[in-house]
Amino acid sequence: MIKVENLYSAFSNVPRPTQIPGCRAGCCLTEGEVGTLLRKNLHELSDGLLSTYLWHAFHLDKDDCDFKYFIPRILDLKLQGTKSKDEGICVNLDTHIIGVRLGTSNFTNWSSVQFKSVDDLIFEIVTTLASYGDYSEIGDWLCAISFTDMDKVRYLDLIDSLPEMTIKHIFSCSWKHIRREGRVRGPYWDDVPIETSKLVLDWLIAKESEHTFFKASRPNRNRARGKAGRKRGLR
């Protein structure tokens, strides 16, 4: 596939790491797993091993060259897993952690070719999810890219083209915090920098005004008080 080929090509000049920074054998990765990551061909690394690596990388704050080396394979496997969902194949790579790690890896300062190839492949993943109707995972990816300075417009345009209730499904746990707290709330959304998620926030505020289902989801406090009062009066 062209987008996958472009991704590997964009990162072909990134050297294979000689160590996994900050890792102590037996902590996140075993000595054998570290050895496999450092020696095995990138295209042959499994999602299971890279999932363990991602959990390790999640706790690193600096721009480590090892993540930059592994990101093509990580996204390649995510796309493969997305396209194989109807076959019952599951790729165990946490979407949110990919976003968090991109955000802490100085991602926007990578070369323009690398940046675009990552963006294009993530968009391909989200487009594929849309074709399967996997709206929950789309929400996970929207959260993931909100950790970065990636342009969210085309992702939001894609969501706009989906069935109306998709928006409610994606933000079912977070819409009520938008006006009250001025941010999106929910698992991982709590950690997203407000400045990188502002576009999503503004878009969602517009959707709240546009769609009646957001209003319908709000509890009618006056009605609730009235019912409570009537119940007390009957006692």
The whole model's pTM is what? 0.82
For residues 207-232, average pLDDT? 52
For residues 144-171, average pLDDT? 83
Is the pLDDT assigned to residue 5 strictly greater than 90?
yes
For residues 208-222, average pLDDT? 53
Confidence (pLDDT) at 68: 92
Residue spans of the domains in the chain: they are: 2-218
**Residue 165's pLDDT band (cuts 50, 70, 90):** low
Is the pLDDT assigned to residue 220 strictly greater than 90?
no
Both tokens assigned to 83: 């396209």
Confidence (pLDDT) at 193: 85
